[in-house]
Amino acid sequence: MPLRVLRAGYGSPSRQDQFPDPHALDARAGLPRAIELLDGRRIAVLTGAGVSTPSGIPDYRGPDATPRTPMTYQEFMSSVSNRRHYWARNQYGWHFVADAEPTAAHTAIARLEAAGHVDGVITQNIDRLHQKAGTVDVVDLHGTYAWVLCTACGSRFPREQVSRYLDELNPGFYDGMASAQDIEYSPDADATVEDTAGFRVWDCPVCQGVLKPDVVFFGENAPAEKVARSRRIVQRADVLLVAGSSLTVNSGRRFVRQAARSQTPVVIVNHGVTGGDALATVKVDAPVDRFLTELARNLGA
Protein backbone atom coordinates (compact mmCIF):
# COMPACT_ATOMS: atom_id res chain seq x y z
CA MET A 1 0.00 0.00 0.00
CA PRO A 2 1.07 3.62 -0.54
CA LEU A 3 3.87 5.13 1.47
CA ARG A 4 3.15 8.59 0.10
CA VAL A 5 -0.34 9.87 -0.57
CA LEU A 6 -1.20 12.97 -2.56
CA ARG A 7 -3.70 15.21 -0.82
CA ALA A 8 -7.13 15.28 -2.37
CA GLY A 9 -10.45 16.84 -1.50
CA TYR A 10 -13.69 18.15 -2.89
CA GLY A 11 -12.79 21.71 -3.58
CA SER A 12 -10.10 24.04 -2.29
CA PRO A 13 -11.21 27.18 -0.46
CA SER A 14 -11.54 30.25 -2.64
CA ARG A 15 -9.87 32.48 -0.02
CA GLN A 16 -6.48 31.33 1.20
CA ASP A 17 -6.57 33.94 3.97
CA GLN A 18 -9.10 31.69 5.71
CA PHE A 19 -6.10 29.58 6.79
CA PRO A 20 -5.50 30.17 9.62
CA ASP A 21 -8.74 31.70 10.82
CA PRO A 22 -7.85 35.31 11.66
CA HIS A 23 -10.68 35.61 14.17
CA ALA A 24 -9.98 32.45 16.21
CA LEU A 25 -7.86 31.89 19.29
CA ASP A 26 -4.55 30.12 18.80
CA ALA A 27 -3.68 26.95 20.70
CA ARG A 28 -1.99 28.76 23.58
CA ALA A 29 -4.94 31.07 24.24
CA GLY A 30 -7.62 28.57 23.33
CA LEU A 31 -6.57 25.67 25.54
CA PRO A 32 -7.41 27.26 28.92
CA ARG A 33 -10.72 28.56 27.54
CA ALA A 34 -11.62 25.09 26.27
CA ILE A 35 -10.62 23.45 29.56
CA GLU A 36 -12.80 25.92 31.45
CA LEU A 37 -15.85 24.89 29.42
CA LEU A 38 -15.12 21.15 29.22
CA ASP A 39 -13.77 20.19 32.62
CA GLY A 40 -16.23 18.22 34.73
CA ARG A 41 -18.94 18.24 32.04
CA ARG A 42 -20.43 15.59 29.77
CA ILE A 43 -18.90 16.16 26.35
CA ALA A 44 -20.43 15.28 22.99
CA VAL A 45 -17.79 15.16 20.25
CA LEU A 46 -18.35 15.81 16.54
CA THR A 47 -15.38 14.99 14.29
CA GLY A 48 -14.55 15.59 10.64
CA ALA A 49 -11.74 14.85 8.21
CA GLY A 50 -9.25 17.00 10.13
CA VAL A 51 -8.82 14.39 12.87
CA SER A 52 -7.64 11.82 10.30
CA THR A 53 -5.26 13.84 8.13
CA PRO A 54 -2.15 12.94 10.19
CA SER A 55 -2.90 9.26 9.38
CA GLY A 56 -2.42 10.04 5.69
CA ILE A 57 -6.11 10.27 4.82
CA PRO A 58 -6.56 13.64 3.07
CA ASP A 59 -9.19 16.15 4.02
CA TYR A 60 -11.87 17.66 1.81
CA ARG A 61 -11.43 21.40 2.02
CA GLY A 62 -8.10 22.13 3.66
CA PRO A 63 -5.65 24.68 2.26
CA ASP A 64 -3.80 21.99 0.26
CA ALA A 65 -6.87 20.07 -0.91
CA THR A 66 -7.05 19.25 -4.61
CA PRO A 67 -10.43 20.07 -6.18
CA ARG A 68 -12.42 16.95 -7.04
CA THR A 69 -15.86 16.21 -8.42
CA PRO A 70 -17.28 13.22 -6.51
CA MET A 71 -19.84 10.92 -8.07
CA THR A 72 -23.30 11.60 -6.70
CA TYR A 73 -25.77 8.93 -5.68
CA GLN A 74 -27.97 9.83 -8.64
CA GLU A 75 -25.06 9.40 -11.07
CA PHE A 76 -24.05 6.10 -9.46
CA MET A 77 -27.54 4.64 -9.81
CA SER A 78 -28.20 6.02 -13.30
CA SER A 79 -25.92 3.79 -15.38
CA VAL A 80 -23.80 0.65 -15.35
CA SER A 81 -20.85 2.56 -16.83
CA ASN A 82 -20.89 5.00 -13.91
CA ARG A 83 -20.94 2.14 -11.42
CA ARG A 84 -18.12 0.40 -13.28
CA HIS A 85 -16.05 3.58 -13.10
CA TYR A 86 -16.78 4.05 -9.40
CA TRP A 87 -16.09 0.46 -8.35
CA ALA A 88 -12.84 0.23 -10.36
CA ARG A 89 -11.47 3.22 -8.48
CA ASN A 90 -12.91 2.28 -5.09
CA GLN A 91 -11.64 -1.30 -5.30
CA TYR A 92 -8.11 0.06 -5.64
CA GLY A 93 -8.50 2.78 -3.01
CA TRP A 94 -10.44 1.19 -0.15
CA HIS A 95 -7.36 -0.65 1.14
CA PHE A 96 -5.72 2.72 1.73
CA VAL A 97 -8.46 3.76 4.17
CA ALA A 98 -8.67 0.30 5.74
CA ASP A 99 -4.92 0.22 6.46
CA ALA A 100 -4.79 3.68 8.07
CA GLU A 101 -3.91 3.88 11.74
CA PRO A 102 -5.47 6.15 14.40
CA THR A 103 -3.95 9.55 14.99
CA ALA A 104 -3.14 11.26 18.26
CA ALA A 105 -6.53 12.95 17.98
CA HIS A 106 -8.36 9.61 17.93
CA THR A 107 -6.28 8.37 20.85
CA ALA A 108 -7.00 11.51 22.89
CA ILE A 109 -10.75 11.19 22.32
CA ALA A 110 -10.65 7.51 23.32
CA ARG A 111 -8.79 8.45 26.51
CA LEU A 112 -11.33 11.16 27.29
CA GLU A 113 -14.16 8.65 26.86
CA ALA A 114 -12.42 6.05 29.04
CA ALA A 115 -11.95 8.69 31.74
CA GLY A 116 -15.67 9.50 31.70
CA HIS A 117 -15.46 12.92 30.04
CA VAL A 118 -16.82 12.04 26.58
CA ASP A 119 -20.40 10.82 26.44
CA GLY A 120 -20.59 9.99 22.73
CA VAL A 121 -18.78 10.62 19.43
CA ILE A 122 -20.42 11.57 16.13
CA THR A 123 -18.06 11.27 13.18
CA GLN A 124 -18.48 12.37 9.58
CA ASN A 125 -15.59 10.10 8.59
CA ILE A 126 -15.93 6.60 7.13
CA ASP A 127 -12.49 5.35 8.28
CA ARG A 128 -13.47 3.74 11.63
CA LEU A 129 -10.31 5.13 13.23
CA HIS A 130 -12.22 6.10 16.37
CA GLN A 131 -13.09 2.45 16.89
CA LYS A 132 -9.52 1.37 16.15
CA ALA A 133 -8.33 3.80 18.84
CA GLY A 134 -10.72 2.24 21.36
CA THR A 135 -13.69 4.62 21.46
CA VAL A 136 -16.87 2.67 22.19
CA ASP A 137 -19.85 4.99 21.66
CA VAL A 138 -19.43 6.13 18.03
CA VAL A 139 -22.05 7.08 15.45
CA ASP A 140 -20.65 6.67 11.91
CA LEU A 141 -22.93 9.36 10.52
CA HIS A 142 -21.85 8.85 6.91
CA GLY A 143 -21.42 5.09 7.10
CA THR A 144 -18.19 3.13 6.84
CA TYR A 145 -15.95 1.66 4.17
CA ALA A 146 -16.17 -1.74 5.92
CA TRP A 147 -19.63 -2.70 4.58
CA VAL A 148 -21.39 -2.90 1.22
CA LEU A 149 -25.16 -2.43 0.92
CA CYS A 150 -27.68 -3.71 -1.63
CA THR A 151 -29.83 -0.76 -2.70
CA ALA A 152 -32.73 -3.11 -3.57
CA CYS A 153 -33.12 -5.63 -0.74
CA GLY A 154 -31.00 -4.02 1.95
CA SER A 155 -28.59 -6.95 2.40
CA ARG A 156 -25.19 -5.99 3.78
CA PHE A 157 -21.88 -7.68 3.02
CA PRO A 158 -18.39 -7.26 4.52
CA ARG A 159 -16.20 -5.21 2.22
CA GLU A 160 -13.46 -7.87 2.36
CA GLN A 161 -15.88 -10.40 0.84
CA VAL A 162 -16.97 -8.05 -1.95
CA SER A 163 -13.35 -7.17 -2.64
CA ARG A 164 -12.42 -10.83 -3.11
CA TYR A 165 -15.23 -11.31 -5.63
CA LEU A 166 -14.23 -8.17 -7.53
CA ASP A 167 -10.64 -9.42 -7.73
CA GLU A 168 -11.88 -12.76 -9.11
CA LEU A 169 -14.00 -10.98 -11.71
CA ASN A 170 -11.13 -8.70 -12.78
CA PRO A 171 -7.85 -10.68 -12.76
CA GLY A 172 -4.88 -8.56 -13.70
CA PHE A 173 -6.96 -5.40 -14.10
CA TYR A 174 -4.49 -3.22 -12.22
CA ASP A 175 -1.35 -4.72 -13.77
CA GLY A 176 0.83 -2.11 -15.42
CA MET A 177 -0.63 0.80 -13.48
CA ALA A 178 1.53 3.57 -12.09
CA SER A 179 3.21 2.99 -8.77
CA ALA A 180 0.75 2.94 -5.87
CA GLN A 181 2.86 5.64 -4.20
CA ASP A 182 1.82 8.07 -6.93
CA ILE A 183 -1.91 7.31 -6.92
CA GLU A 184 -4.12 10.10 -5.59
CA TYR A 185 -6.72 9.17 -3.00
CA SER A 186 -9.63 10.98 -1.40
CA PRO A 187 -11.25 10.50 2.03
CA ASP A 188 -14.01 8.28 0.60
CA ALA A 189 -11.40 5.80 -0.79
CA ASP A 190 -11.70 7.02 -4.39
CA ALA A 191 -8.44 6.45 -6.29
CA THR A 192 -7.39 8.05 -9.56
CA VAL A 193 -7.68 5.03 -11.84
CA GLU A 194 -8.17 6.54 -15.30
CA ASP A 195 -9.03 3.58 -17.55
CA THR A 196 -12.00 1.76 -16.00
CA ALA A 197 -13.88 0.64 -19.14
CA GLY A 198 -13.22 -3.09 -18.77
CA PHE A 199 -13.96 -3.42 -15.07
CA ARG A 200 -16.70 -5.90 -14.12
CA VAL A 201 -18.99 -5.13 -11.15
CA TRP A 202 -20.61 -7.60 -8.78
CA ASP A 203 -24.36 -7.55 -8.19
CA CYS A 204 -26.20 -8.58 -5.03
CA PRO A 205 -26.13 -12.40 -4.72
CA VAL A 206 -29.50 -12.31 -2.94
CA CYS A 207 -31.62 -10.34 -5.41
CA GLN A 208 -29.22 -9.21 -8.21
CA GLY A 209 -29.73 -5.60 -7.11
CA VAL A 210 -27.20 -2.78 -7.29
CA LEU A 211 -24.47 -2.85 -4.63
CA LYS A 212 -22.88 0.29 -3.23
CA PRO A 213 -20.47 0.91 -0.36
CA ASP A 214 -22.47 1.54 2.81
CA VAL A 215 -21.48 5.20 2.89
CA VAL A 216 -23.47 8.37 2.28
CA PHE A 217 -22.84 9.64 -1.24
CA PHE A 218 -23.16 13.26 -2.25
CA GLY A 219 -26.84 13.69 -3.02
CA GLU A 220 -27.88 11.28 -0.24
CA ASN A 221 -29.01 12.08 3.29
CA ALA A 222 -27.53 10.54 6.40
CA PRO A 223 -29.76 7.69 7.66
CA ALA A 224 -32.57 8.98 9.89
CA GLU A 225 -31.77 6.59 12.74
CA LYS A 226 -28.15 7.80 12.86
CA VAL A 227 -29.24 11.42 12.85
CA ALA A 228 -31.69 10.69 15.67
CA ARG A 229 -29.04 8.89 17.72
CA SER A 230 -26.62 11.78 17.16
CA ARG A 231 -29.22 14.30 18.28
CA ARG A 232 -29.70 12.33 21.51
CA ILE A 233 -25.94 12.46 22.17
CA VAL A 234 -25.96 16.25 21.76
CA GLN A 235 -29.16 16.62 23.78
CA ARG A 236 -27.80 14.88 26.88
CA ALA A 237 -24.39 16.61 26.74
CA ASP A 238 -23.32 19.64 28.73
CA VAL A 239 -21.01 20.88 25.95
CA LEU A 240 -20.36 20.07 22.28
CA LEU A 241 -16.74 19.75 21.09
CA VAL A 242 -16.26 19.96 17.31
CA ALA A 243 -12.87 18.73 16.08
CA GLY A 244 -11.50 18.85 12.56
CA SER A 245 -14.73 19.64 10.71
CA SER A 246 -15.27 22.59 8.38
CA LEU A 247 -19.02 22.31 9.06
CA THR A 248 -19.58 23.24 5.42
CA VAL A 249 -22.54 20.92 4.91
CA ASN A 250 -25.67 20.61 6.99
CA SER A 251 -24.87 17.01 7.94
CA GLY A 252 -22.63 18.17 10.77
CA ARG A 253 -23.66 21.80 11.14
CA ARG A 254 -27.16 20.80 12.28
CA PHE A 255 -25.74 19.55 15.60
CA VAL A 256 -24.01 22.87 16.25
CA ARG A 257 -27.33 24.62 15.64
CA GLN A 258 -29.07 22.15 17.96
CA ALA A 259 -26.57 22.88 20.73
CA ALA A 260 -26.90 26.62 20.22
CA ARG A 261 -30.70 26.47 20.41
CA SER A 262 -30.50 24.69 23.76
CA GLN A 263 -27.79 27.10 24.98
CA THR A 264 -25.25 24.27 25.19
CA PRO A 265 -21.71 25.69 24.87
CA VAL A 266 -19.88 24.84 21.63
CA VAL A 267 -16.09 24.52 21.37
CA ILE A 268 -14.74 24.31 17.80
CA VAL A 269 -11.14 23.25 17.10
CA ASN A 270 -10.22 23.35 13.42
CA HIS A 271 -7.63 24.70 11.02
CA GLY A 272 -9.43 27.44 9.11
CA VAL A 273 -12.88 28.96 9.31
CA THR A 274 -15.96 26.75 9.67
CA GLY A 275 -19.63 27.06 8.91
CA GLY A 276 -20.43 27.04 12.62
CA ASP A 277 -18.06 29.74 13.89
CA ALA A 278 -20.84 32.25 14.48
CA LEU A 279 -22.41 29.84 16.99
CA ALA A 280 -19.21 28.85 18.77
CA THR A 281 -18.63 29.76 22.40
CA VAL A 282 -14.91 29.22 21.84
CA LYS A 283 -13.19 28.84 18.44
CA VAL A 284 -9.59 27.64 18.30
CA ASP A 285 -7.46 27.48 15.16
CA ALA A 286 -4.81 24.87 15.92
CA PRO A 287 -3.52 21.45 14.81
CA VAL A 288 -6.31 19.19 16.01
CA ASP A 289 -4.17 16.23 17.09
CA ARG A 290 -1.80 18.26 19.26
CA PHE A 291 -4.61 20.33 20.75
CA LEU A 292 -6.70 17.29 21.73
CA THR A 293 -3.64 15.55 23.19
CA GLU A 294 -2.99 18.57 25.44
CA LEU A 295 -6.68 18.81 26.28
CA ALA A 296 -6.81 15.15 27.37
CA ARG A 297 -3.70 15.57 29.48
CA ASN A 298 -5.08 18.63 31.22
CA LEU A 299 -8.43 16.97 31.89
CA GLY A 300 -6.64 14.08 33.55
CA ALA A 301 -7.36 11.48 30.88
Let me know if 142 is a catalytic residue. Answer: yes
Alpha-carbon distances, residue 284 vs 19, 243, 248, 251 (angstroms): 12, 10, 17, 21
**What order do you get walking across the sheet with 156-158 strand by strand?**
156-158, 143-150, 211-215
> What pairing do the DSSP bridges indicate for beta strands 156-158 and 143-150?
antiparallel
User: Sign of torsion, CA 10 13 270 28?
Assistant: positive
DSSP state for residue 263 in the 8-state scheme: T
**CA-only gyration radius of the chain, Å:** 20
Catalytic residue among 85, 95, 142, 271: 142
Do residues 256 and 247 make contact, with C-beta atoms less than 8 angstroms apart? Answer: yes
Strand pairing class (138-140; 156-158): unpaired
Phi, psi of 130 (to 5 degrees): -60, -45
Please answer whether residues 148 and 155 qualify as being in contact, where contact means their C-beta atoms are separated by less than 8 angstroms: no
| Residues with active-site annotation | 142
